[in-house]
Structure 1
Amino acid sequence: MADEPNRAAFVELQSRMIETTGKIKQLQTQMRSKESEKKRAYLTLEELSQLPDDTNTYKAIGKVFILEPRSLMVNEQEKKLNDSETAISSMQTSKEYLEKQLGEVENNIRELLQQDPGLARQILSMTVQ
């Protein structure tokens, strides 16, 4: 039988691995959302840049359209674009940190299983059944 401290350490490492993997998936989802927001802002800016300065533009707020000057719309879209880029950069840094943590946890699990072959056999027998 595997030593109880090794088994407890394995369970702890396994839960950290699951938690870290979940955080990485959540970050990836948020990054995809920000990427699409960034793309929408960029495309809107492209369309607005083709219009003359005195063109009436309308902003959609729910089911209502509000008349706004073109310059205000351009500023708003540029802000969205910059905010999205900043958020994506920040999320990428967080993702890299979490991936590094995940690698460390995987290495710790690997080392633990190499140190205690009985634990490795016990885990394998649990997963095979």
Structure 2
Amino acid sequence: MSDEANRAAFQEIKGRMIENTGKMKQVQNQMRNKEGEKKRAYLTLEELRQLPDNTNTYKSIGRTFVLEPKSVLMNEQEQRLKDSESAIAALQASKEYLEKQKAEVESNLAELLQQDPGLAQQIMSMSVM
């Protein structure tokens, strides 16, 4: 390949790597948020379980509190827990897919550099500037 074609290929690989890294960070942040939601739902459920069954509880809606039976809050927290778990599973699948894409991009870069060892020197001289 010509130098221009190699540089264009390198720029494409670099762009894919940057895009992949950004998506990976986004997925990791989403997973962290869902883990927090899951933990809050679990802890709230644990506290609600300690209350007698006929206890009325207060549910926060914005700045207002509404009196609700314990069972309603338990059902809501159980649903939040399930939703968080399913979201985490989906995000984990996305993360694994992105990791495979990253490995493929790295493989493409290694192949490109193997085909044209001079390209590595050009890349290094460009990054020094």
User: What TM-score, normalized by structure 1, do the two folds share?
Assistant: 0.96
Match of 2:60, SS? Answer: strand
- Equivalent residue number for residue 91 of structure 2: 91
Moved over 2 A (4+): none
Q: Which runs of 5+ in 1 are unaligned?
A: none
Deviations 1:103-128 (A, max 9, x none): 11011111101111121111011112
| Structure 1 residue aligned with 2:16 | 16
Whole-angstrom distance in 2 between the partners of 1:18 and 1:55: 53
Equivalent in the alignment of 2:70: 70
CA distance in 1, matches of 2:31, 2:58: 28
Residue 128 of structure 1 aligns with which residue? Answer: 128
Q: State the partner residue of 2:32.
A: 32
The 1-side partners of 2:90 and 2:114 are apart by 36
CA RMSD of aligned residues (A): 0.9
Q: Quick one: distance in 2 between partners of 1:50 and 1:23?
A: 41
How many pairs are equivalent? 128
User: Once the two structures are superposed, what CA deviation does each residue of 1:40-83 show, in whole Å capped at 9, x if it has no partner?
Assistant: 00000000000011111001111110111100000000000000
Q: Which structure would you say has the larger RCO, counting Cα contacts within 8 Å and 6 or more residues apart?
A: 1
Give the share of equivalent positions with the same residue, in percent: 70
Counterpart in the other structure of 1:56: 56
Equivalent position amino acid for 1:121 in 2? Q
Q: List alignment gaps of at least 5 residues for structure 2.
A: none
Corresponding residue number in structure 2 for 1:102 = 102
